[in-house]
Amino acid sequence: MLENLAGTYVSWIGHDLKIAVPFILLFVVLILRPQGLFGRKLVVRV
């Protein structure tokens, strides 16, 4: 869905670049939240 919306509404993203939009989004999410969107921080007690 994001791929089609990006190709339609963002003029500088052509047909070729609209395929890369989901991959760029996944890359940004992995950079900002490496534990995942709903991940929890692991607490280690000693």
- Residue 40: predicted pLDDT: 73
Q: What is the pLDDT of residue 9?
A: 72
Q: What pLDDT is recorded for position 2?
A: 67
Tens digits of residue pLDDT in 1-46: 767 777 677 666 666 677 777 788 888 888 888 776 677 777 788 8
Scanning 1-46, the segments in alpha helix (DSSP H) are 2-9, 21-32
Residue 5 belongs to domain spanning = 1-46
Task: Give how many domains the chain has, as a whole number.
Answer: 1
Asked if 43 and 35 count as a contact pair (C-beta separation under 8 A), the reply is no
Question: pTM above the 0.75 mark?
Answer: no
* Rg of the chain (C-alpha set): 16
